[in-house]
Amino acid sequence: MAPHMAEWDEKEIFPVETMRKAAQLGFGGIYVKPDVGGSGLSRLDTSIIFEALSTGCTSTTAYMSIHNMCVWMIDTFGNEEQRRRFCPSLCSMEKFASYCLTEPGSGSDAASLLTSAQRKGDTYVLNGSKAFISGGGDTDVYVVMCRTGGPGPKGISCLVLEKGMPGLSFGKKERKVGWNSQPTRAVIFEDCVVPVGNRLGAEGQGFSIAMQGLNGGRINIASCSLGAAHASVLLAQEHLTVRKQFGEPLANNQYLQFRLAEMATRLLAARLMVRNAARALQDGREDAAVLCSMAKLFATDECFGICNQALQMHGGYGYLKDYAVQQFVRDIRVHQILEGTNEVMRMIVARNLLQG
C-alpha cells in the first residue's frame, strides 16, 4: 500500500483490488469464524495487523477495520442462514460493507436516531438517512441501525441492506481533509423495503449490537493511529539524520533528540494500552468496554500529537504533499472524532468511575 498511498489520496481512489489481495491473506474477516471464511484470529492479532497495515496507508486500513467490524457483527449476531449468505463474500472482499449508525441529527447522541423501519408483513419499510458513511455508494452491504419501536436505545433494531434494493440511494461524495482513499456519502432510505429475514438479532437489540461492534471498532481505529504514529516516528528519525542546519545534522540537537525520545515513549505507552484493551475484549472481561474507550481516547490523542510533532520536525518540508508525514497527520485527525468522539470516551470512562 505504501507506494500508492499518496496517489490514492490525491486521486481519491478506493483501492478495491489491493484490498482483495489483503483479503487473500485473511484480512477481510480477521476476527470472524473460519466456517464462513474468516481467519478466526484474536482481537490482539487484529490490533497488530491493523497497526502494521496502517503504516502503508492509514485511510485504506481504517476502511478495512470498519468492514471487519461489520462482518463480525453479522457473524456474531446473525443466524446460520444470514452468516452463510453474507460472510463468505465479505471475508473474501468480493463484496464490501458499511456501518450505518450516524445521522444528520444524531452523532454522539446515537440513541436518538430517527431512521424508521415500519413492519409490514414479512418486510420493513425504511425511511430516513445516515450521514458520514464510510464506503457509502461504493460498498455492497449496509449494516443499518433503525427505529422499529419507541424512543431511546431499546427501540432500535439492526437490519442488513444490500445495494440495489429499491428505495436505497446515496448523497454526493463528501470532500474530506483526509481519509481520501475511501468514499464517504450519506445513505438515504425512501420507502426502502427490507425482508424481515435481514434483521440481525431480535427487535430492540440493535443498539446493543451497534455498541458491541464499536468496542472492537475503537481498538481497531486506535491501532490504525498507532501505525500512522509509528511511520511518522521513522520519517522524523530519518529527516533528523539527513537534514543539516547550523553546520550539523538536526539529530545532534539535544532538544530534538528529547522530543524524538518522548514521541517513541508515548507511542509505546499507547500501543500497550491498546493491546491491553484488545486482550480484555477477547477475554470478555467486565471492564472491556471502558478499557476500549480509554485506549481509543489515549491512543488517538497521543498518536495525532506524535504525527503532528513529526511534521514540525520536518519544518516547511513537512507541509508539502511530497512528504508522507502530512498525509498521516490529515488521515488520523478524524480518529479523534469517529467511532465515538474522544469527548464521549471521557463520558464513558467518567460514568464507569462514578458508578463505582
The residues annotated with a catalytic role in the active site are 339
Distance between CA atoms of 292 and 276, rounded to whole angstroms? 9
The C-alpha atoms of residue 339 and residue 156 are separated, in whole angstroms, by 18
Which among 81, 84, 83, 63 is positioned nearest to 73, based on CA atoms? 83
Q: What are phi and psi of 153, to 5 degrees?
A: -65, -30
Q: How far apart are CA 57 and CA 241, in angstroms?
A: 24
- CA 140 vs CA 36, 45, 213: distances in Å: 18, 27, 19
Pair 223, 62: CB distance under 8 Å:
no
Q: What is the DSSP code string of 75-87?
A: HHHS-HHHHHHHH
Q: Is residue 6 within 8 Å of 181, Cβ to Cβ?
A: no
Identity at 32, one-letter amino acid code: V
Question: For helices 43-54 and 254-282, what crossing angle results, to 10°?
Answer: 150
Non-local (6+) Cβ contacts of 80 within 8 A are: none
Residue 125 burial by Cβ neighbours in a 10 Å radius (0-12, 13-18, 19+): middle
What does the alpha-carbon distance between residue 213 and residue 234 come to, in Å, rounded to a whole number? 32
Q: What are the φ/ψ torsions at residue 134 (nearest 5 degrees)?
A: -65, 125
- At residue 147, φ and ψ (nearest 5 deg) are -95, 115
CB atoms near residue 48 (< 10 Å): 19
- 8-state DSSP, 96: -
